[in-house]
Structure 1
């Protein structure tokens, strides 16, 4: 089965990213409503349950989608059968996992019944997410990126609508848990609909083939699990080593800037089939695809890592409350650095997985997770959410440096060096504006964003003619 041409892939990236940007707006509005309504303590309880359940999130994806795409696009295997096998394997795993999550919650949060209830509600979403993600390879192989984008958007829209009703009717914290559940439920509905449009995808039972798929998937499952734990283990450890308010501060910081990973996630998802095919057939094309992907991610990751620190208090007031500004401003700036670095690592990891380098990534991610946990044990008791954010930066930087070294060694000139050099003055324009403008938080955020955008055009990081060409190719 062939992979779509560059124009279709570019259109796919734009479609998925555009929909997720709209979903990001929904999510940020939801953060604002939740922080304002619940306050630091209530929001901390919400984040405690959310981050705990998210720590099991890698087991919904299992890395199986990458394996299915690689088998179909790289080796020409049958899509329906591979998706059917992945459905059976994932369902056999997810139900016991939900029970384990709830039993662990009863032990860790024995004195917090609201957190236990929240985890019980949110854990149902693990089942919905697992089913929805089984259809992701269908969208990627058939280039049906509109449905893929709509899945996330529908879930976030449903979630925001329920939050609005909860606030308007003063329904309380439990309904915020139910609102969070709407995201995976919406994704499940939309992706199941896509599967029915493409063909009859049903679970397939074959012990030998299921075991072969699971065995090939295990390294990527582990990589995905560690990647999720980089972010969520900090919140879980905060809930045990610090206060509920500090969990809320870290959770808010992560919810705000973590949403920007939609860019790296969109690129990795849309280009999964291209990565697999190029890695199997054309080394030069594979190198070019890696370079283009990193170039696109840099444009968003760089300002996150550089500009958010100075704007953090303004962002917290905009998306939270003045009450949260003192708690969450420091963690927000630091988490933004970690997320920016992690976005680059995510695309590099996707490329390395397509080239069957998952064993190296497994060793790397294990070492980084141990580094993250150790740093959290030392720093959280002293610095709370700020310590957790510093631990995130340490582990993400370690992973980034090693992935970068692997790419340079294997593929040579795959890095967008020219883009990096042109980004420096564009970022400098943003930083200068940040330093010179002192006024209303809304004005500062707007002007810094405009200054950075202008820098992208002036220093030709982004060219208008390239955007027009991309649009024509995607049409």
Structure 2
């Protein structure tokens, strides 16, 4: 029964996430056509600027909450109450600082005003994000996906309405804030049905949590550099339309990589449990997670490469066709490392090696900043995209080495190679057929990929059955 429930919740979550992604991309489509490249570039600058600070305000609390409430005998009410309180205070301080710091950047006044309005959006998003750990433990991630859909529908509806009313740029930012507020309210109400959420201020506990979370906080803050700082550097070094070109490709990428975060988030309670209680089962779950991510990422990467022009035309319109498709194709290669990086990063936290991981993220951040400063002045958005790929690759490889050494395990690449073969066959077929609509590309590509994967027996029924049965251990 539990296996069926897990499978059902997983399917519902994936379907809801896909629907949410479609809504988000439609929203971007309306915004890009209404604002144009220059103003859209400023819109992306606002979101990226605040995003960096909201990630700093995370303080590693989300990952720590998931880990701690998933362990046997955890005092959920105390952990959640204190961590949620600490998150709210950190957000108020850090996002307030973001609004103040933006005043010193060479942006138009309307952009600085947008930072203040947008800060409220990230306050609600980050507040709801820390509560998602509750749903992960109780295998109810489908409710998180539904809350996200509710927020995105409100955002889209307001954007369409504001465009029809011919309202200004700041109203588009306000629409995002209102959508985030709806998402937070739904998440909060759902979460209270599992655990009473009461603000707690146990400062001794805060000190303990902060000490443990600091390496995670540093790691998370440093990962914010890879894509978002590139946008900030572009906004300072290049015209706004350059930011718009890179920003649209980045937004497409951002909305297509929901699966690894969702999937690994579901698996985090199990990884945390087995990291302490049973290393062999940890290796088993790690291998199966690695295989599933490999099967998911390969068609996404090659699908984007072959259909980049159609994707950009659909979402951004003809104004963005000049260089944006090529930027998207370059960034597509980073998706491989983002998918596996999610698994590796969370596995490191589960194993309690976050202090070592902080050094890895630090190396990646230094490399990324140096590369962007050198490359962006000459190659603009192309340089930013290339820098992002090599940074993600460096960090992912180093994390992989850390895990392999720590648990003395090197995952099998058999399924990953089969996934690569399937994706290459799909890519070759779509390239041979030529230009079709995006819907036909996606339909034909998916059919070909799944046929090849089935023929190669990349993932059999027994593997999936074992995988879902293993999930029973994460049920409280």
User: TM-score, with normalisation over the residues of structure 1?
Assistant: 0.92
Match in the other structure for 1:187: 183
CA distance, structure 2, for counterparts of residue 468 and residue 251 of structure 1:
41
Distance 1:264 1:183, change over 3 A: farther
Distance 1:445 1:201, change over 3 A: closer
Q: Answer yes or no: is 1:264 the counterpart of 2:260.
A: yes
Is the Cα–Cα contact under 8 Å of residues 156 and 182 in structure 1 kept in the other structure? no
CA distance, structure 1, for counterparts of residue 468 and residue 356 of structure 2:
38
Match in the other structure for 2:99: 102
Match in the other structure for 1:43: 40
- CA deviation after TM superposition for structure 1 residue 37, in Å: 1.7
Is the Cα–Cα contact under 8 Å of residues 226 and 366 in structure 1 kept in the other structure? yes
CA distance, structure 2, for counterparts of residue 27 and residue 72 of structure 1:
31
- CA deviation after TM superposition for structure 1 residue 76, in Å: 2.4
1:119 is aligned, of 115, 120, 124, to: 115
Match in the other structure for 2:205: 209
Match in the other structure for 2:231: 235
Q: Answer yes or no: is 1:401 the counterpart of 2:397.
A: yes
SS of alignment partner, residue 322 of structure 2:
helix
Is the Cα–Cα contact under 8 Å of residues 6 and 468 in structure 2 kept in the other structure? no
User: TM-score, with normalisation over the residues of structure 2?
Assistant: 0.92
Q: Answer yes or no: is 1:143 the counterpart of 2:136.
A: no
Distance 1:122 1:18, change over 3 A: same
Match in the other structure for 1:354: 350
Q: Answer yes or no: is 1:196 the counterpart of 2:189.
A: no
Within 5 Å, give how 1:338-377 maps onto structure 2.
338-377=334-373
- CA deviation after TM superposition for structure 1 residue 36, in Å: 1.6
Distance 1:290 1:311, change over 3 A: same
- CA deviation after TM superposition for structure 1 residue 210, in Å: 1.0
Is the Cα–Cα contact under 8 Å of residues 50 and 95 in structure 2 kept in the other structure? no
- CA deviation after TM superposition for structure 1 residue 175, in Å: 1.9
Say which is worse superposed, 136-145 or 229-238, in terms of deviation: 136-145
What per-residue deviation string (whole Å, max 9, x for no partner) do you get for residues 147-167 of structure 1? 222222221111111112122
- CA deviation after TM superposition for structure 1 residue 355, in Å: 0.3
- CA deviation after TM superposition for structure 1 residue 8, in Å: 4.7
1:410 is aligned, of 389, 403, 406, to: 406
CA distance, structure 1, for counterparts of residue 50 and residue 455 of structure 2:
44
Match in the other structure for 2:73: 76
SS of alignment partner, residue 74 of structure 1:
coil
CA distance, structure 1, for counterparts of residue 5 and residue 62 of structure 2:
20
CA distance, structure 1, for counterparts of residue 216 and residue 174 of structure 2:
30
CA distance, structure 1, for counterparts of residue 55 and residue 435 of structure 2:
42
Distance 1:468 1:70, change over 3 A: closer
Count of equivalent residues: 471
SS of alignment partner, residue 107 of structure 1:
coil
- CA deviation after TM superposition for structure 1 residue 460, in Å: 2.6
What per-residue deviation string (whole Å, max 9, x for no partner) do you get for residues 385-432 of structure 1? 111010100100001111222233233445242211211320121121
Distance 1:378 1:289, change over 3 A: same
- CA deviation after TM superposition for structure 1 residue 445, in Å: 4.8
Match in the other structure for 1:162: 158
Say which is worse superposed, 174-183 or 385-394, in terms of deviation: 174-183
Match in the other structure for 1:451: 448
- CA deviation after TM superposition for structure 1 residue 69, in Å: 2.6
Q: Answer yes or no: is 1:66 the counterpart of 2:63.
A: yes
Distance 1:238 1:37, change over 3 A: same
Q: Answer yes or no: is 1:53 the counterpart of 2:61.
A: no
RMSD: 2.5
2:217 is aligned, of 196, 217, 221, to: 221
Within 5 Å, give how 1:426-445 maps onto structure 2.
426-442=422-438, 443-445=440-442
- CA deviation after TM superposition for structure 1 residue 344, in Å: 0.8
- CA deviation after TM superposition for structure 1 residue 213, in Å: 1.0
Match in the other structure for 1:93: 90
Within 5 Å, give how 1:373-392 maps onto structure 2.
373-392=369-388
Match in the other structure for 1:34: 31
Distance 1:363 1:9, change over 3 A: farther
Distance 1:179 1:457, change over 3 A: farther
Match in the other structure for 2:329: 333
CA distance, structure 1, for counterparts of residue 155 and residue 266 of structure 2:
25
Which stretches of structure 1, 4 residues or longer, exceed 6 Å deviation after superposition? 464-475
1:461 is aligned, of 445, 454, 458, to: 458
Is the Cα–Cα contact under 8 Å of residues 122 and 180 in structure 1 kept in the other structure? yes
Structure 1 gap ranges (5+) = none
Is the Cα–Cα contact under 8 Å of residues 54 and 123 in structure 2 kept in the other structure? no
- CA deviation after TM superposition for structure 1 residue 471, in Å: 9.4
- CA deviation after TM superposition for structure 1 residue 358, in Å: 0.5
1:419 is aligned, of 409, 415, 419, to: 415
CA distance, structure 1, for counterparts of residue 146 and residue 402 of structure 2:
35
Structure 2 gap ranges (5+) = none
CA distance, structure 2, for counterparts of residue 469 and residue 165 of structure 1:
49
